[in-house]
């Protein structure tokens, strides 16, 4: 079997057997194709023929091309997954990427919005059903810290108004139940009272004007529209609301485990990035308020 065919068999198995999302499958395809483009410079005919020294040269070449350490780590994960597939199929003896690490890159802190900007964004007058939908959608994103893909995948039956909660299917097809705040509940009730004429009995919680499940791109566009209309002078996107929810909750509670569970992070190290955001806020307050915070001569 040629390597392109072998890769397609692997990607099909990734989606069908391992239940990876189509976004993950597409990302793995892009990463494997990117590696294949470097093969001639390494003197290797296929990805399966790479040796550990050639694999290190591959990582170095990608870093020279400006790929971040995080992107290279994701690419190595795609390669290792592909190699496991080949080993299980008896087509490869050992993983040439074993033990090879991506170079470290500076950790980027997640951007957040302050509470005043959040309030300005969310408190708009709704004059039609789509505006009520948008307000409910944005309130839910911020209230429960949801990912965009999780939000657009919600069905009406996933929402429990009496319990003030939502059942969310996240990465790896893992389900979690998250609380829904009072303002989000109020906005959702307003939307649900106007949803049925558009949804026409369909299952999706959020639908377009044509009754189809709202797409991720449509949410991004509507959020940009309302941010501009509300005079928010910065780029606003769905994940910014998730970051802001996590940061504000951690700032108020200090409960890292609770925030981890809310966000659906498998590893608490992923959640700990928000402690750095909070420290930056603390440092600014300290510098402004503490009588001995400023250096002499500054």
Catalytic position from the list 28, 83, 132, 274: 274
In a domain, 43, yes or no: yes
Checking 185-189 for CB contacts under 8 A at 24+ apart, the result is 185/161, 187/132, 187/135, 187/136, 187/139, 187/140, 188/136, 188/139, 188/140, 188/159, 188/161, 189/161
- pLDDT for position 297: 43
Q: What is the pLDDT of residue 296?
A: 42
Indicate the DSSP class of residue 111: P
Q: 170 with 248, same domain?
A: yes
What's residue 35's pLDDT?
92
**Residue whose C-alpha is closest to residue 281's, from 122, 120, 115, 138:** 115
Residues 139 and 195: their CA atoms lie apart, in Å, by 16
Tell whether 129 and 210 lie within a shared domain.
Answer: yes
158: domain CATH number is 1.10.443.10
37 is catalytic: no
Same-domain pairing of 124 and 11: no
Closest by CA position to 244, among listed 277, 276, 218? 277
Q: Which of 117, 135, 147, 248 is catalytic?
A: 147
User: Which of 85, 117, 222, 242 is the catalytic position?
Assistant: 242
Residue 297 domain-assigned? Answer: no
Tell me what pLDDT residue 94 has.
Answer: 92
Rounded distance between C-alpha atoms, residue 47 and residue 67, angstroms: 19
Owning domain of residue 239: 115-285
In a domain, 149, yes or no: yes
For residue 188, the model assigns a pLDDT of 97
Is 100 domain-assigned? no
**Is 242 a catalytic site residue?**
yes
Among 259, 242, 266, smallest CA distance to 170 is for 266
From 22, 53, 88, give the residue that closes a domain.
88
Residues 217 and 75 in one domain: no
Residue 252: the pLDDT is 76
Please report whether residue 122 resides in a domain: yes
Q: Output the pTM of the full model.
A: 0.60
Q: Is 147 a catalytic residue?
A: yes
Neighbours of 270 (CB within 10 A): 12
Q: Bridge partners of 160?
A: 165
Does residue 154 form part of some domain?
yes
Spot the catalytic one: 56, 194, 213, 239: 239
Choice among 265, 284, 290, 292 that is catalytic: 265
Do 140 and 274 have their domain in common? yes
pLDDT 10s digits, 78-89 = 999 999 999 999
CATH number at residue 73: 1.10.150
212 found inside a domain: yes
| Residue 153, C-beta contacts closer than 8 angstroms, at least 6 positions apart | 169
Q: Find the catalytic residue in 156, 171, 213, 224.
A: 171
Q: Is 19 an active-site residue?
A: no
- Asked, for residue 193, whether it belongs to a domain, the answer is yes
Cβ atoms within 10 Å, residue 107: 9
DSSP state of 204: B
28 included as an active-site residue: no
Counted domains in the chain: 2
Taking 50 as the pLDDT cut, the residues of the chain under it are 295-298
The DSSP-derived string for 143-200 is HHT--HHHHHT-BGGGEETTTTEEEEE-GGG-EEEEE--HHHHHHHHHHHHHHHHHHT
User: What is residue 260's predicted lDDT score, i.e. its pLDDT?
Assistant: 81
| 153, 195: one domain | yes
């Amino acid at each position: 079997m040629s390597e392109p065919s072998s890769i397609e068999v692997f990607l099909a198995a990734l989606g069908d057997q391992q239940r990876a999302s189509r976004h993950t499958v597409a990302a793995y395809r892009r990463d494997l194709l990117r590696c294949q483009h470097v093969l001639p410079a390494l003197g290797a005919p296929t990805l399966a023929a790479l040796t550990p020294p050639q694999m290190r040269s591959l990582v170095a070449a990608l870093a020279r091309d400006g790929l971040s350490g995080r992107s290279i780590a994701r690419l190595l994960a795609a390669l290792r997954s592909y190699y496991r597939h080949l080993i299980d199929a008896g087509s490869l003896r050992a993983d040439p990427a074993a033990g090879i690490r991506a170079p470290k890159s500076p950790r980027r802190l997640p951007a957040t919005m302050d509470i005043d900007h959040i309030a300005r964004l969310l408190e708009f007058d709704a004059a039609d059903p789509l505006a009520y939908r948008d307000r409910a959608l944005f309130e839910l994103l911020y209230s429960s810290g949801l990912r965009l893909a999780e939000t657009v995948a919600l069905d009406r039956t996933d929402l429990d108004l009496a319990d003030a909660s939502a059942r969310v299917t996240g990465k790896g097809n893992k389900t979690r139940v998250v609380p829904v705040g009072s303002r989000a509940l109020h906005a959702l009730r307003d939307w649900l009272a106007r949803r049925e004429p558009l949804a026409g009995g369909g299952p999706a919680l959020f639908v377009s004007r044509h009754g189809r499940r709202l797409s991720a791109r449509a949410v991004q566009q509507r959020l940009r529209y309302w941010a501009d209309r509300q005079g928010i002078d910065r780029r606003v996107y769905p994940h910014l609301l998730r970051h802001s929810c996590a940061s504000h909750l951690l700032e108020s509670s200090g409960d890292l485990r609770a925030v981890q569970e809310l966000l659906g992070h498998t590893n608490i190290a992923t959640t700990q990035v928000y402690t750095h955001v909070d420290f930056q806020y603390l440092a600014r307050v300290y510098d402004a308020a503490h009588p001995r915070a400023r250096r002499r001569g500054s």
